[in-house]
């Protein structure tokens, strides 16, 4: 008769996510995971099979939390689209307090570390990126409907430009760039959005 697990699987996944986020996939060894999660190798392999499977679970956990929060923050129901966008972009690059190093975004970090070499990981990073694109598209569509943005705004081009800005900001945050400079970049991106023409 199999003995019941003596740990909370979801808590273990959350803690593994934090470790992968801090160190990256390749720099995190199975031994590191065992020490961080307080699991024996046999317990970890029995539950998650291997490091790669646990990493996929960690990516899914991150997407379900961080990506969902980002999507919610981009909602512009209570404020102009430009303000919602600026608030969200600044939230993305808020510097950690104390001595904690900047982490950037786990999805972006993973995409830059593993690229397209891992099909299952690539599938997840692209899905997360698409959530961001769709949230940006929804925000810009709302801004256009409210007359804040021009009716002839090229949504596809604007979404891709802002999405590229987002990725650049996350990489720069991870690299520890000065927050004031990142704020300058955010404000420049907001100003680059065209303004709807006033009444004739």
Has residue 24 been placed in a domain? no
- pLDDT recorded at residue 196: 76
Has residue 40 been placed in a domain? no
Has residue 196 been placed in a domain? no
18 Ramachandran zone, left/alpha/beta (phi>0; psi -120 to 50): alpha
Has residue 85 been placed in a domain? yes
CATH number of the CATH domain containing 89: 1.10.357.10
- pLDDT recorded at residue 76: 54
Q: Considering the entire predicted model, what is its pTM?
A: 0.87
More confident site: 155 or 198? 155
Has residue 21 been placed in a domain? no
75-80: long-range contacts, CB 8 A cutoff, minimum separation 24 = 75/139, 76/139, 76/142, 76/143, 77/142, 80/143, 80/146, 80/148
Distance between CA atoms of 189 and 82, rounded to whole angstroms?
10
Give percent above pLDDT 90 in the chain. 66
Confidence grade of residue 77 (pLDDT, cut at 50, 70, 90): low
* Digit-coded pLDDT (tens) for 154-186: 999 999 999 999 999 999 999 989 999 999 999
5-19, 26-40, 104-118, 128-142: segment of lowest average pLDDT: 5-19
The total number of structural domains in the chain stands at 1
Other beta carbons within 10 Å of 18: 16
* Digit-coded pLDDT (tens) for 85-123: 999 999 888 755 556 678 889 999 999 999 999 999 999
- pLDDT recorded at residue 200: 38
Q: Residue 137: give the domain boundaries.
A: 58-191
What average pLDDT score do residues 146-152 get?
Answer: 93
Has residue 167 been placed in a domain? yes
Has residue 46 been placed in a domain? no
Give percent above pLDDT 70 in the chain. 88
By the 8 A CB rule, do 159 and 114 touch?
A: no
- pLDDT recorded at residue 105: 92
The yes-or-no verdict on residue 28 having pLDDT over 90 is yes
Contacts of 9 (CB under 8 A, 6+ apart): 47
More confident site: 96 or 140? 140
Has residue 37 been placed in a domain? no
């Amino acid at each position: 008769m199999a003995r019941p697990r003596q740990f909370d699987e979801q808590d273990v996944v959350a803690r593994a996510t934090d470790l992968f986020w801090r160190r990256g996939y390749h720099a995190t060894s199975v031994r590191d995971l065992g020490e961080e999660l307080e699991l024996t190798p046999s317990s970890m392999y029995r539950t998650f099979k291997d490091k790669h499977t646990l990493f996929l679970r960690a990516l899914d956990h991150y997407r379900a939390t961080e990506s969902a929060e980002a999507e919610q923050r981009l909602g512009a129901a209570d404020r102009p689209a430009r303000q919602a966008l600026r608030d969200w972009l600044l939230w993305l690059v808020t510097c950690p307090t104390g001595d904690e190093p900047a982490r950037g975004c786990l999805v972006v970090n993973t995409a830059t570390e593993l690229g397209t070499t891992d099909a299952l990981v690539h599938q997840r990073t692209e899905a997360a990126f698409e959530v961001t694109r769709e949230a940006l598209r929804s925000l810009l569509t709302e801004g256009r409907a409210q007359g804040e943005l021009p009716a002839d705004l090229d949504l596809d081009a604007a979404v891709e430009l802002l999405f590229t800005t987002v990725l650049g900001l996350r990489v720069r945050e991870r690299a520890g760039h000065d927050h004031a400079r990142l704020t300058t970049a955010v404000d420049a991106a907001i100003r680059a959005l065209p303004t709807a023409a006033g009444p004739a």
